[in-house]
């Protein structure tokens, strides 16, 4: 068990009568890059939402480092070391790029209203550390020169990098990237791929949902395939490419026809 | 880019502002307007609370006048009817109002979506009716008079000149505290909630808790302002805390620039001067003018008049610097 960082057992989520995620069992290996793929509506983002606590689970459970997360509210999961990015980026538009990353340091600092109001020494000490770390993560994604730019003034590719920097600033053990490559050109995708490798090398486990197959094949050490809320295959990229059920799911054929 | 000259206000500008503020109540300057300036200070305190709640955190309250009135009435009743020391009355009012806001805010912020506006709207109406109807405690629509002044040792704040410094001492302290909060981890968390609640939660911000806390803080500010009001006027009646008062507070915040702490002074001053010097002539039509101001500002300068003026000033400075740099 030691090398499994995240596990789901019989994880299910229903919306009305519809099973968006249906009895999914996963074991995500530590310090690896795992890709979750599947056609639209397969339940990939719902799975992310269950892991990060945006939706409560209908049945089953999520275990992070052996501890059940079912009763852990979403905001506390960041402190435990789970962070995510969003398909639609969701940067804080009322802040500069640097402030966005500073906000990411929230779970790694603790001073509150009172310390802030009268600027107690604790607030200054923490603020210095926050500033230092935020600059580090912003530079890591290559956006150091845009520190003072409003986050939403950046082009989409850089916004996505900024969102990753913000997530890294929470100093996670596990990062979930929801379609990080969507909307990027080939060059930006190469940079992204390089960045994700560096994140993995920092000792952060990566799970990504992605539609761009060349990107997935270049990155993922393990691929999990979802279709209509169920896990239909799991393995290395080359194994998955040959899997008949996966091909059927993507091409929309009935299994009998294969 | 001219934005490079943007930055913190110069110490010179701050010193000048403080000097002007200090001089206002003296006869050789604006002494005849001391009372007006006191009200501007009191309004600024309420307004800055709403700026924190609405401008920074994105939570709309249409009932700030209720907390304002609560502070006023608790202070008045305790210090007049029960002979409690006015400072203790003021403190008790702030704690009670804060607790009240917590009790209301806690269940509301468990819900996703903006229910605060509706809840505070209702709250404002209920409290206004209570102020009017609980005549045995509040004096009813006629109000109650003879509320004692605040005093320190033997020094009573019994002239407008003295109360000016009391009120503005409070006001500037509160502005400074608010400025510190905005430029902190807490302030970033509040702005993050305004930006995207889902993203805020994903980086570990306890969205519901921060909303409750800032709501309580804004209520405490309003309560302090209410207490200062009754210990200044020595009189309290329900009318200044009706629904229109809540709307006027929103207008003040909007004119100053919702996400601007120091704009609160500007917003409070503009509306206060306008209402005391100009709108009086319009009688009950003043409501229409407030509505019109709100509409025009939201359509043409949504960032607020104060923030726009500041930008123009910075742009002019940049142009000036550019001109000087040219050979």
Measured between alpha carbons, how far is residue B240 from residues B70, B85, B233, B244 in Å?
12, 24, 12, 8
State chain A's mean pLDDT as an integer: 91
Look at residue B4 in the predicted model and tell me its pLDDT.
Answer: 34
Look at residue B8 in the predicted model and tell me its pLDDT.
Answer: 53
Look at residue B10 in the predicted model and tell me its pLDDT.
Answer: 67
- Hey, what are B41's tokens? 């200070």
Look at residue B1 in the predicted model and tell me its pLDDT.
Answer: 28
- Are B206 and A78 inside 8 Å of each other by CB? no
Choose among A69, A162, A147: nearest CA to B203. A162
pLDDT (average), residues A35-43: 90
pLDDT (average), residues A228-253: 84
- Residues ≥6 apart with Cβ < 8 Å to B300: none
- Are B194 and A94 inside 8 Å of each other by CB? yes
pLDDT at A2 over 70: no
- Are A76 and B204 inside 8 Å of each other by CB? yes
Up-side HSE of residue A123: CA atoms within 13 Å toward CB? 17
- Are B204 and A106 inside 8 Å of each other by CB? yes
- pLDDT tens-place string over residues B31-55: 888 999 999 999 999 999 999 999 9
Burial class (CB in 10 A: 0-12, 13-18, 19+), B192: buried
Chain B positions touching A106 (Cβ under 8 A) are: 185, 188-189, 192, 203-205
The single residue listed with the structure tokens 């995620």 is A21
Look at residue B12 in the predicted model and tell me its pLDDT.
Answer: 78
Q: How many CB atoms lie within 10 A of CB A202?
A: 12
The angle subtended at Cα A171 by Cα A166 and Cα A173, nearest 5°, is 120
Q: Which of A48, A56, A74 to mutate to test binding with chain B, by most B CBs within 10 Å of its CB? A: A74
Q: What is the β-pairing status of strands B151-152 and B144-145?
A: unpaired
- What is the end-to-end Cα distance of chain A in Å, rounded? 37
**The overall pTM is greater than 0.95:** no
Query: Phi and psi at residue A43, in whole multiples of 5°?
Result: 105, 15
CA B184/CA A129 separation, integer angstroms: 13
Look at residue B288 in the predicted model and tell me its pLDDT.
Answer: 86
Chain B positions touching A170 (Cβ under 8 A) are: 203-204
Look at residue B9 in the predicted model and tell me its pLDDT.
Answer: 57
Of A52, A116, A167, the CB nearest to B187: A116
The most confident of the ranges A134-138, A218-222, B24-28, B313-317 is A134-138
Weakly modelled stretches of chain B, pLDDT under 70:
1-10, 112-113, 327
3-state SS, one letter per residue, for B128-179: HHHHHHCHHHHCHHHCEECCCCCEECCEECCCHHHHHHHHHHHHHHHHHHHH
pLDDT (average), residues A242-249: 83
Percent of chain A residues past pLDDT 70, beyond the cut: 96
Which of A170-179, A220-229, B156-165, B286-295 is predicted least confidently? B286-295
- Are B191 and A92 inside 8 Å of each other by CB? yes
Look at residue B256 in the predicted model and tell me its pLDDT.
Answer: 86
Choose among A90, A85, A83, A88: nearest CA to A105. A83
Residue A142 banded pLDDT, cuts 50, 70, 90: very high
Chain A positions touching B177 (Cβ under 8 A) are: 117-118
Helical spans, DSSP H, in chain A: 44-52, 74-80, 97-104, 113-117, 121-140, 156-168, 186-201, 213-219, 237-242, 244-251
Of B180, B192, B213, the CB nearest to A103: B192
- pLDDT tens-place string over residues A4-21: 999 999 999 999 888 999
Of B199, B206, B259, the CB nearest to A92: B199
C-alpha distance from B9 to closest chain A C-alpha (Å)? 17
Residue A252 banded pLDDT, cuts 50, 70, 90: low
Which residue of chain B comes nearest to A130, CA vs CA? B185
Look at residue B113 in the predicted model and tell me its pLDDT.
Answer: 67
Q: Which of B203, B212, B257, B260 to mutate to test binding with chain A, by most A CBs within 10 Å of its CB? A: B203
């Amino acid at each position: 068990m030691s090398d499994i960082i995240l596990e789901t057992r019989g994880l299910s989520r229903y919306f009305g009568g519809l099973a968006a995620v249906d009895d999914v069992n996963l074991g995500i290996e530590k310090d690896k890059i795992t890709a979750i793929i599947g056609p639209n509506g397969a339940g990939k983002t719902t799975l992310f939402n269950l892991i990060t606590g945006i939706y409560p689970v209908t049945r089953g459970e999520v275990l992070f480092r052996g501890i059940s997360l079912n009763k852990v509210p979403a905001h506390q999961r960041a402190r435990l070391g789970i962070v995510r990015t969003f398909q639609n980026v969701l940067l804080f538009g009322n802040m500069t790029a640097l402030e966005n990353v500073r906000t990411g340091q929230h779970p790694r600092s603790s001073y509150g209203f009172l310390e802030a109001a009268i600027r107690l020494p604790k607030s200054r000490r923490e603020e210095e550390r926050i500033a230092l770390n935020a600059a580090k993560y912003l530079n890591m994604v290559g956006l150091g020169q845009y520190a003072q730019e409003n986050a939403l003034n950046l082009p989409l590719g850089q916004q996505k990098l900024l969102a990753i920097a913000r997530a890294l600033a929470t100093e996670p053990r596990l990062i979930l990237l929801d379609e990080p490559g969507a909307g990027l050109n080939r060059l930006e995708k190469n940079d992204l791929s390089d960045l994700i490798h560096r994140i993995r090398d920092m000792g952060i486990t990566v799970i990504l949902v992605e539609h761009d197959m060349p990107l997935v094949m270049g990155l993922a050490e393990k691929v999990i395939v979802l279709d209509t809320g169920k896990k239909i295959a799991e393995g290395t990229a080359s194994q998955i490419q040959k899997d008949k059920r996966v091909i059927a799911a993507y091409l929309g054929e009935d299994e009998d026809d294969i | 880019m001219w934005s490079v000259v943007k930055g913190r206000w110069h110490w010179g500008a701050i010193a000048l502002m403080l000097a002007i503020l200090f001089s206002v109540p003296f006869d050789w300057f604006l002494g005849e307007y001391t009372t007006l300036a006191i009200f501007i200070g009191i309004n600024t305190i309420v307004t800055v609370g709403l700026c924190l709640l609405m401008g920074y955190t994105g939570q709309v309250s249409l009932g700030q006048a209720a907390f304002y009135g609560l502070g006023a009435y608790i202070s008045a009743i305790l210090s007049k009817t029960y002979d409690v020391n006015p400072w203790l009355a003021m403190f008790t009012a702030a704690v009670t109002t804060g607790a009240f806001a917590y009790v209301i805010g806690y269940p509301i912020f468990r819900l996703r979506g903006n229910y605060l506006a509706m809840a505070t709207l209702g709250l404002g109406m209920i409290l206004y009716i209570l102020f009017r109807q609980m005549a045995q405690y509040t004096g009813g629509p006629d109000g109650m008079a003879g509320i004692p002044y605040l005093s320190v040792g033997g020094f009573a704040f019994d002239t407008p000149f003295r109360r000016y410094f009391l009120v503005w001492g409070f006001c500037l302290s509160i502005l400074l505290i608010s400025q510190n909060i905005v430029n902190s981890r807490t302030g970033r968390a509040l702005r993050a909630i305004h930006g995207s609640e889902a993203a805020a939660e994903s980086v570990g911000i306890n969205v519901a808790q921060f909303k409750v806390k800032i709501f309580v803080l804004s209520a405490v500010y309003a309560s302090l302002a209410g207490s200062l009001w009754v210990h200044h006027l020595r009189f309290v009646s329900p009318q200044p805390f009706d629904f229109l008062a809540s709307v006027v507070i929103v207008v003040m915040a909007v004119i100053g620039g919702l996400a601007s702490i120091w704009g609160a002074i500007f917003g409070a001053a503009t509306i206060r001067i306008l209402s005391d010097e100009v709108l009086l002539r319009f009688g009950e039509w003043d409501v229409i003018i407030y509505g019109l101001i709100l509409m025009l500002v939201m359509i043409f300068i949504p960032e607020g008049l104060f923030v726009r003026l500041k930008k123009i000033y910075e742009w002019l400075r940049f142009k000036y610097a550019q001109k000087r740099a040219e050979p």
